[in-house]
């Protein structure tokens, strides 16, 4: 009994000491080639559950314009404890909650607006319920807050400071009323010039109340200082080449894009270089589906989620996966199952570092194809299949095409992942999409160190967004070939990764 008391006291002390320790470092963002305390904490937590919930959930839309009546918001079985319980069971280390989206509807009882849950038929303070559940389950709490606000009257006033003050008031409510907040995710900055959002004021306020909180604004980085010319995360392969659009930001955001495997961390602001990790966003749904829809949508394959998990977290970056509650106010059971199954498959544990993918042996090895779709420069060349970018691609001109990778025969491998480019069809809501694969039948062939080509894998099933082939043994090869045996159109591949996993994984 005595021991237990002691243990508890120490447990309580640790976060206090941590806050005291980090307070002296994290107040401002300083030029550095290494992560500061807030960034280290972000990298360490690494894997969060994004929760989109709000008035849009009840209107079957992604965005609304701030005029939906508060009466619309009406969950029938609201259970925020279930959201966080699912997050915990799935091995997420933080929950990132929408507190206010572009529509301006607030998920807490805000003194500064009546467009909030308190004015709705179901008055539960969602921010309180979720932050309480995070304390209960021992996982970190983070918030999303939209800069762009299509409801607040102050937003339309001539002096931008009036709306900035509104935000500062609301963020004070959030940062003083709900315990520690590990991240602030700001969005919608495209609606005004960067300097009109008062980012520095917001940043200062946040750090005053919570020095360890990591702050960022979506589309953090630009190509040219002071201009809105964007660089995609898949192009950020150079240190000190790109610039802050929003300063200060403690990490980079570019929802929902994925970084290059050669992601660099040094970014410039007024001639000085800052370390900036990246936080990715993914939907557990196969379609981009942020706010839950009334139609039940299929979730991504576990194989694909596993590979994307590695892609997004391996390189000292973070990933949030959106698992949105539906209009009953609960996370759907089949989506919870997918998230929990993924966590079990990855062996996630709060006491262990996040697992990493195996060793990639294919990047930038010589690649060639039977043909390439004619386009400017090398846009669809075979070299794109192993350039570490999930958005660049090889596109063939012929339908029964092949693409080859020259490998180092000294390097063993036992896993191949193939990201097929799929045709995307936008749905009528303007956000959702369905993806249509082209490849119907294919083989993976190897040219061994000596001897002839052999087929090591053959399939006539759709690849999904990411096909993972695990071999029961290690191979070595001079060349690897993906051979398309049947397709509905000339095939196109974003990336082929040849990987060596450690024994037993």
443 counts as binding its own copies under rule CB under 8 A: yes
| Minimum CB distance to its own copies smaller for 252 or for 330 | 330
Closest Cα to residue 273, out of 30, 38, 26, 27?
30
Min dist CB 380 to its own copies, Å, is 28
**CB of residue 299 to its own copies, shortest distance in Å:** 7
**350 vs 364: CA distance, rounded Å:** 35
Do 430 and 441 contact (CB within 8 A), yes or no?
Answer: no
Please tell me whether residue 458 binds its own copies under the rule CB under 8 A. yes
Q: Which of 228, 319, 316 is nearest to 266 (CA)?
A: 316
Identify the burial level of 104 via C-beta atoms within 10 angstroms of its C-beta, where 0-12 means exposed, 13-18 middle and 19 or more buried.
buried
Candidates 67, 161, 454, 488; binder of its own copies (CB under 8 A) is 454
State the nearest-atom distance from the C-beta of 469 to its own copies, in Å: 9
> Which DSSP state fits 156?
G
In the complex, minimum distance from the CB of residue 344 to its own copies, in angstroms, rounded to a whole number: 5
Nearer to its own copies, 376 or 452 (CB): 452
CB 56 within 8 A of CB 101: yes
Nearest residue (CB) to its own copies, 119 versus 297: 297
Binder of its own copies out of 112, 209, 431, 471 (CB under 8 A): 471
Q: Is 467 helix (H, G, I), strand (E, B) or coil?
A: strand
Piece of 172-180, 274-282, 400-408, 467-475 that binds its own copies (CB under 8 A): 467-475
SS3 215: strand
How many angstroms from the chain centroid is the CA of residue 153? 32
Cα–Cα dist 106/476, whole Å: 56
Beta-carbon contacts of residue 23 (< 8 Å; ≥ 6 apart): 211, 212
Q: Is 456 in the site for its own copies (CB under 8 A)?
A: yes
Query: Of residues 297, 400, 412, 501, which one binds its own copies by CB under 8 A?
Result: 297
Q: Quick check: 472 binds its own copies (CB under 8 A)?
A: yes
What is the footprint of its own copies within residues 310-349 (CB under 8 A)? 332-334, 337, 340-341, 344
In the bound complex, what is the minimum distance in angstroms from residue 282's beta carbon to its own copies? 18
Nearest-5° Cα angle at 207, 182 to 107? 55
Which is nearer to its own copies, 298 or 449 (by Cβ)? 298
Question: What is the total count of residues that contact its own copies (CB under 8 A)?
Answer: 30
Site for its own copies in 43-102 (CB under 8 A): 89
- The window from 171-179, 303-311, 421-429, 448-456 that contacts its own copies (CB under 8 A) reads 448-456
Reported as type and span, the H/E element at residue 395 is strand 394-395
Compute the least distance from the CB of residue 254 to its own copies, in Å: 28
Cα 192 to the center of its chain, rounded Å: 24
Q: Which of 101, 252, 269, 286 is close enough to bind its own copies by CB under 8 A?
A: 286
Residues 131 and 138 sit within 8 Å (Cβ to Cβ)? no
Q: Which of 48, 188, 324, 464 binds its own copies (CB under 8 A)?
A: 464
Cα–Cα distance list, 403 to 197, 330, 384 (Å): 48, 45, 11
The residues of the shown chain that bind its own copies, judged by CB under 8 A, are: 89, 286, 296-299, 301, 332-334, 337, 340-341, 344, 441, 443, 454-462, 464, 470-473
């Amino acid at each position: 009994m005595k021991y237990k008391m002691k243990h508890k006291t120490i447990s309580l002390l640790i976060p206090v000491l941590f806050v005291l320790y980090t307070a002296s470092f994290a107040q401002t963002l300083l030029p550095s080639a290494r992560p500061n305390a807030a960034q280290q904490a972000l990298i360490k937590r690494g894997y969060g559950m994004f929760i989109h919930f709000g008035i849009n959930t009840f209107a079957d839309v992604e965005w609304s314009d701030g005029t939906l009546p508060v009466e619309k918001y009406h969950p029938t079985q609201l259970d925020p404890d279930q959201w966080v319980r699912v997050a915990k069971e799935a091995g997420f280390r933080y929950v990132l909650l929408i507190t206010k989206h572009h529509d301006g509807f607030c998920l807490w009882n805000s003194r500064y607006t009546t467009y909030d849950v308190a004015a709705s038929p179901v008055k539960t303070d969602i921010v309180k319920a979720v932050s309480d559940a995070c304390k209960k389950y021992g996982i970190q709490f983070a918030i999303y807050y939209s800069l762009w606000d299509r409801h607040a009257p102050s937003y339309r006033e001539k002096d931008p400071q009036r709306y900035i003050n509104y935000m500062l008031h609301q963020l004070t409510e959030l940062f003083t009323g709900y315990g520690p907040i590990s991240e602030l995710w700001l969005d919608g900055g495209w609606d005004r010039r960067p300097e009109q959002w008062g980012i520095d004021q917001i940043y200062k306020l946040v750090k005053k109340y919570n020095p360890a909180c990591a702050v960022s604004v979506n589309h953090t980085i630009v190509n040219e200082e002071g201009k809105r010319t964007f660089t995609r995360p898949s192009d950020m392969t150079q240190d000190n080449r790109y610039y802050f659009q929003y300063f200060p930001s403690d990490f980079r955001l570019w929802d929902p894009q994925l970084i290059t495997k050669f992601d660099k961390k040094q970014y410039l602001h007024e001639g000085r270089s800052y370390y900036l990790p990246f936080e990715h966003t993914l939907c557990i749904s196969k379609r981009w589906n942020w706010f839950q829809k009334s139609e039940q949508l299929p979730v991504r394959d576990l194989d694909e989620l596993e590979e994307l998990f590695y892609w997004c977290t391996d390189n000292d970056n973070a990933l949030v996966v959106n698992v949105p509650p539906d209009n009953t106010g609960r996370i759907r059971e089949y989506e919870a199952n997918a998230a929990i199954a993924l966590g079990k498959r990855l062996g996630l544990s709060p006491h262990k570092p996040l697992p990493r993918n195996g060793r990639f042996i294919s990047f930038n090895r010589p690649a060639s194809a039977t043909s390439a779709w004619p386009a400017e420069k090398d846009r669809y060349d075979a070299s794109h299949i192993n350039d570490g970018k999930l958005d660049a691609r090889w596109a063939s001109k012929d339908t029964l095409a092949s693409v080859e990778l020259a490998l180092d025969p000294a390097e063993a491998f036992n896993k191949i992942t193939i990201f097929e480019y799929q045709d995307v069809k936008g749905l009528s809501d303007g956000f959702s999409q369905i993806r249509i694969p082209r490849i119907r039948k294919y083989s993976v062939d190897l040219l061994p160190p000596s001897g002839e080509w052999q087929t090591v894998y053959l399939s006539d099933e759709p690849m999904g967004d990411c096909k993972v082939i695990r071999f029961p043994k290690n191979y070595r090869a001079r060349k690897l070939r993906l051979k398309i045996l049947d397709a509905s159109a000339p095939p196109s591949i974003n990336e082929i990764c040849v990987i060596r996993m450690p024994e037993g994984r």
